[in-house]
Each structure stands twice: as structure tokens, then as C-alpha cells.
Structure 1
């Protein structure tokens, strides 16, 4: 198990979307350089004053690349600190360096926050060696050694914690986007299937009566043109949202009151819509779902109901529930298996997400019936 954990850490990729440099990075580097210069000039106990000051100031610009090149920044900064420690040991000078160089802790944080797994492992090894050399050169006691390593560990832990939180948020956002895309794909299926079915019915009717009533054929062509235009408009709106990076521009969703637009007297089959006169205000998600369910059920009836003369769409509300029934009087072929394709699966999923139930199948006497029941009170 430990081996798997180490292997997973080693193969961990870099954190995504690391910003290169922002304005506050330049401010941070400038402030560090000014403080290092003031410390190098004003402090009386600085060993190797010119060199220590130049090193502290010269390393400050490394902060600008800490996100895009975290390992290189750590190696440069802590490698220099290690060289100063070795110089202190060889030259007998105590504590070569400025207190301002504590800013290298920002590089440890950035390493854990933005580096890949192998960069983190290698970088922390460099940090540990440099810290060990520094404690020996400073002749630090056990308390100072423990405190120093605790500060380094806290910096790395803070970077790892922020990284984990950002990754969790990113994954949650991706899951939310995936669910939204699935819903939009279902919406696109409903839109296209309904309008294309209406176009096909109008085209068949126009072809059948073109020889007898040319003016009726022209009317069918006008209806086809209108349906095609609406289909293209709605498809563009949905595809714009699905396309990565495009701004989402949501139009008002049709609801139960818009079901009357599905009614028609010709061509066959006739579509009758019956709605309650005193329909209460529905939750938006239920209102939109009922329309899409009725639209999909009607589309299936227009496409698959053989010799159907009538499709009935009926909505009833009561006792905190809303019931939708779509039934046709077409012929059912008992030898033909029921095709539970994407449309029916999408309808079932839509209803279940809202806490309702859906049943679909052949009617006892003739035709096909879709019954859906949704709650109207629990989710307001």
C-alpha cells in the first residue's frame, strides 16, 4: 500500500492552470528586494555583508517563476542557501545570510501547490539537505532544529492543502458541467426529434395531397419552413452552451401553459390538449419537465403510432402531484419489441431526478400510453 501511494505521488501531474506572473508577484519581489537592501545596510551583525546582501536581493526575482518552474526555483534558492551554509562552515563565519531570506518559504509553498509529484519529492529532498546544512552551520540546538523543520513542513503542507481544495473544487465543477451537458444533450434530442417528426409528417401529408389540392401542399411547405427555422434557432442556442468556452445564453423554458401550442386539427393524427383551468404555479423545473415530457411522448406517437387518428395530452393536478398522460389510438404490433431508446430513457431520468414516476407501454385496448407523475410541493 505504501509503495502504491509513493508511486501515485511520483506520477502526480502538475496542478493545472498555474498563472505565470501577476501584478502582486512584481510587488512581492520589489518589496523583498527593498527590505533585503535595508537589512543589509542597517544591521550591524551581518556576516559577509556585501555578499549576503547581493544574494538576498539577487534571489528575489526567483519568486516571479515560482508557479511555472517550482522545482527550478527551489533548487536555485535552497542550493544557494546550502552554498552559504557550506561557506559558513569552511570560513568559520556564523549565520551567513539575511533574515529577509525567509521569503524562500514561499517557494516551498509553491512547490507543493503547483509542482508535479516528482518535482515535489526532489524539491523537498533539496530543501531538507539545505536545511540540514544550515542547522549544522548555525550550531542550532534541538529546539531550533525542530522549529525550523516544522516551519518548512507547515509551508509544504499549506501548499498541499490549497492544492487539494482547488482540485476538489475543479472536479466538482467538472462533474456539474458534465451533468449540465447531459441535460442539454437530452434537451437537444427532444428539440430535434419533435421538430423533425413534425416536418416529416407535414412532408408526407403535402406529398399525398399535392395532386388534388396544390394550395394545401404549399401550406405544408410553409409549415415545414417554420418548423425548420425554429429547429435551427433552438439547436443553435443549445449548441452554443455545449460548446466549450462559449457564453451560456439561456432562453425562457416552455412550460405547461405552452402545451396548447402542440395541439392541432390537421394533418392526422389530431392532437388534443387538455389542461386544468386553475393550474397552480409550478416549480420551474417541474413546469419545464412536463412540457418536454409531453413533447417527447408526442414525438414518439407521431413517429411510431401506426394509423393513429388521435393523440391526447392531458394534465391533472391535485394533492401536491401533477399527472401527465399522453395516449394515442395507433395500432400496436405485438411481435415488435418495445424500443426503449434514448428518448424514453431520457424521460425516465428526467422524472426520477424530480422525485416522480413514469410508466410507458401499450394500452389495454389500442395505442400507446405514457403516464408521468411529479411532485409539485416538496421541491418548491
Structure 2
């Protein structure tokens, strides 16, 4: 069992989609360089001041690639620090280096956070070797030794914790996306089943009436042709989504027209629903998606809006697009980041599957709004 677990860890891939160097990384590197220069210039009792300062400044840019190349960056950072310490020992001095070079702990954190299983194992072996040699060549007492090991262990633990958290969130997001695809596929399945049933009924009617009223048979054939065209269009849309093997429910799907049932005057907040434009020609997928998006946004508003007195649901059609806006007048905190919950992810996934867009965020006048747009012909 232990062997299997170790083999599984060894084969663990690196974290998905590590971000490339960003502005905040360049700011971090700049801050580290400035700190190293200030320490090298003004702090007293710095051993090998010019060399230590140059090494600390020259090594700082390695932080830019700590996510995309975690093992290389960790080996370079730790190896440089070890080489500097060994060079000092050979010259008969100890404590070579700047306190600023403790930024190599960020490289250890990045190794565990972003590296693959192989990279983590190799990197931690390097960390152990460097830590052991540093303890032997620059031993200053048990307090400093155990303190250094504790800080190193904290960096490793932090990387593992954030990696586990990100992986758990990614799996939850994948599950939500899968559920939305299945839900949309079921909507499509129900619509196609309705059209096929209509085709069967019209075919039976046409066969029955063919002898007595030939024109009725022609009318039935025309209806069959129209229903078949709609069915083929929706079948093309169906192949874009996943479908599991569970039986489909044939209950009528709620649509945009059913949003009026969500309106209420009591209890607070008041929910107002406004439907504008020609909404009678919505395809079944867009119709069902419009209802579910508005319903989910309303649920989020009722659950999270602070001190809200009113929630407005407005659905309108224009320029070939269905526009859905759900807004509230709740109190917003400017310093609070936008939420990225599973409900919002599910709405976004459903809208994107239909070729639309969704935006959510605070409004300038206060409150929160969810705006979604979906092409009217998304099912064709």
C-alpha cells in the first residue's frame, strides 16, 4: 500500500495551468533587489559585503519563473546559497550572505505548490542536502538550527496546503461544469423527445386520413418536415454537451415566462420581475437557460445581499439576443473581492455553452448585478 502511494505521488502531474510571470512578480523582484541593495549598503557586519550583495541581487529574477519551472528555480536558488556558504568556509569565514536571501523560501514553497511529483521529490532531496550541509558548515546553536528547520518546514507545508486547496476547488469546478452540461443535455433531450412524439402523431394522422382526405396527408407531411428540421437543429446542439446514462425526466421544463412566479412582495426583499420584447420565439435551450440563470442569480442575491430591500429581474429581447439582468440594492463592500462561488460558475458555464457571455459585479450606485446575454438562435 505504501509502495502504491509513493508510486502514485511520483507520477503526480504538476499543478494545472501555472500562471506566467505577472506584474506582481516583477514588483516582488524589484522589492527584493532594493532590499538587498539597502542591506548591503547600510547594515553593519555583513560578511563579504560586495559579493553577497551582488549574488542576492543577481539571484532575485529567478522568482519570475518559480511557477513554470519550480524545480530549476529551487535548485538554482538553494545551490547558489550553498555555494556561497561553502566558499566562505573555504576562506575561513562564516555567515556569508544577506538576510534578504531568505526569499529562497519562496522557491521552496513554489516547488511544492506547482511542481510535479518527481520534481517535488527531487527538490526536497536537494533541500535536505542543502539544509544538512548548511547545518554542518555554519552551525550556530540548537535554537537557530531548529528555528531554521521550522521555517523550512512551514514553507513546504504552506505549498502543500495551497496546492491541496487549489486542487479541491478545481475538482469541484469540474463537477459543476459537468452537472451544467448534463442539465443542458437533458433539456435538449426533452425537447427532441417532444418533437419526435409530434412527428409520430402526425405520421399516424396522415396515414389515417390519406384515403378520405389526401390534402390532410399533405398537411401532415408539412408538419413532419418542420418538426424534423427543428429536431435535427437541436440534435446538432446536443452533441456539444455531455450526457450520462441516467433516465431523463419528461416533465415540462420551466422557461422565461415562468419567472413571473418568482415575484413577491413579502418577505423582504421585494422581488420584481419584468419581461420585455418578443419572448415567444425562444428556443427550448435558451428558454430553459434563461429561467435557470435568473433563478440562480436571484438565489444568490437573497442569500448574500446585505440589507437589500429590492431585487429586480429584467429579461428582454433585442438584436437577436436574450438579455437577463438580476440586480439588488444591497450594501456592497468596496474592499471585498468579487465572489467566485459554484453558483456563479454554473451560470457562466451554461451561458458559455450557448455562446453567450455573463458578467457579475458591484454597481456604481450600490448593490450587485448579474448580466447575461445569450444568442436567440443558440439551439440552431
1:59 aligns with 2:59: yes
CA distance in 1, matches of 2:20, 2:181: 31
CA distance in 1, matches of 2:238, 2:185: 8
Q: Could you say which residue in structure 2 is the equivalent of 1:148?
A: 148
1:113 aligns with 2:113: yes
CA distance in 2, matches of 1:52, 1:210: 98
Would you say the 8 A contact 1:109–1:159 is kept in 2? yes
Q: Which one is further off, 134-143 or 155-164?
A: 134-143
Gap change, CA 1:181 and 1:171, over 3 Å in 2: same
Q: Quote how far apart the aligned CAs of 1:184 are.
A: 3.0
Q: Could you say which residue in structure 1 is the equivalent of 2:268?
A: none
Deviations for 1:45-94, whole angstroms, at most 9, x for unmatched residues? 22222211111111111111111110000010001011011112111122
1:362-373 correspondence runs (5 A): none
Deviations for 1:85-124, whole angstroms, at most 9, x for unmatched residues? 1112111122111111111111111111111111111111
1:126 aligns with 2:126: yes
1:254-293 correspondence runs (5 A): 254=254
Q: Quote how far apart the aligned CAs of 1:130 are.
A: 1.5
CA distance in 2, matches of 1:173, 1:57: 40
Deviations for 1:312-347, whole angstroms, at most 9, x for unmatched residues? xxxxxxxxxxxxxxxxxxxxxxxxxxxxxxxxxxxx
Q: Could you say which residue in structure 1 is the equivalent of 2:356?
A: none
CA distance in 2, matches of 1:50, 1:211: 105
Q: Could you say which residue in structure 2 is the equivalent of 1:304?
A: none
CA distance in 1, matches of 2:38, 2:227: 76
CA distance in 1, matches of 2:118, 2:239: 40
Q: Quote how far apart the aligned CAs of 1:218 are.
A: 3.7
Q: Quote how far apart the aligned CAs of 1:254 are.
A: 3.0
Bigger CA radius of gyration: 1
Q: Quote how far apart the aligned CAs of 1:212 are.
A: 4.3
Deviations for 1:219-266, whole angstroms, at most 9, x for unmatched residues? 3244334434543565566666659xxxxxxxx9437x99xxxxxxxx
**Helix, strand or coil for the counterpart of 1:17?**
coil
RMSD: 2.8
Q: Could you say which residue in structure 2 is the equivalent of 1:166?
A: 166
**Helix, strand or coil for the counterpart of 2:194?**
helix
Q: Which one is further off, 195-204 or 140-149?
A: 195-204
Q: Quote how far apart the aligned CAs of 1:190 are.
A: 2.2
1:1-380 correspondence runs (5 A): 1-210=1-210, 212-228=212-228, 230-231=230-231, 234-235=234-235, 253-254=253-254
Would you say the 8 A contact 2:12–2:118 is kept in 1? yes
**Unmatched runs of 5 consecutive residues or more in structure 1:** 244-251, 259-283, 286-380
CA distance in 2, matches of 1:239, 1:38: 62
Q: Which one is further off, 6-15 or 81-90?
A: 6-15
Q: Which one is further off, 59-68 or 202-211?
A: 202-211
Count, aligned residues: 252
CA distance in 1, matches of 2:11, 2:148: 29
Q: Quote how far apart the aligned CAs of 1:16 are.
A: 1.0
> TM-score, normalization: structure 2?
0.60
**Unmatched runs of 5 consecutive residues or more in structure 2:** 244-251, 259-290, 293-380
Q: Quote how far apart the aligned CAs of 1:142 are.
A: 1.0
**Helix, strand or coil for the counterpart of 2:203?**
helix
